[in-house]
Structure 1
Amino acid sequence: MKKKSVNRADMADMQLALKKTLDLFGGDSRDLLLFYLYKEHGISVYDPDNLSRKKIESAFSDLFGRGATILMEKFNSEMKSA
């Protein structure tokens, strides 16, 4: 199976969408989420080369369970507006 390539512009859009999605959380909560995403899932808003929609969705699902759907809707909305 061929892996779908993601270009730099798409990765930058994904990075911005993730940042805006995490902005739903303020201050310490946002910082803890950033730490969790990096430590447990290798996701960093500062390194767009390591982002994928699948990784983000999996991390949100692990952390928020059914609430992950709400965050993914926000993320998808931000991706469309990017």
Structure 2
Amino acid sequence: MMQVVQGHVSDAEGQPVPGATVLAPGTLLVTTTNATGDYTLSVPAGTALKFGYADFADEVLRRRSASHQQQRHQQHTQRGTDPGG
């Protein structure tokens, strides 16, 4: 069964991240965020989502089972930086 997932991608300061990739790993299901950081994607029930954007670390998030779920995701870890300092 497919579920519609809607969400918003923002950076550590809460600013929208337009053009971020949102995909279901292992599938061809992918979308990008719009100018305000929002996305909508239909995926099989229980599918994790992977978020990516240039200069940020990719992150995989598991969804709850709700058929229409808002996900707020912050892209805040830059690639190649030490999170410890």
Max Rg structure? 2
Whether the TM-score (by the shorter chain) exceeds 0.5 is: no
TM-score (norm 1): 0.31
TM-score (norm 2): 0.31
Quick check: which one's helix share is greater? 1
Quick check: which one's strand share is greater? 2
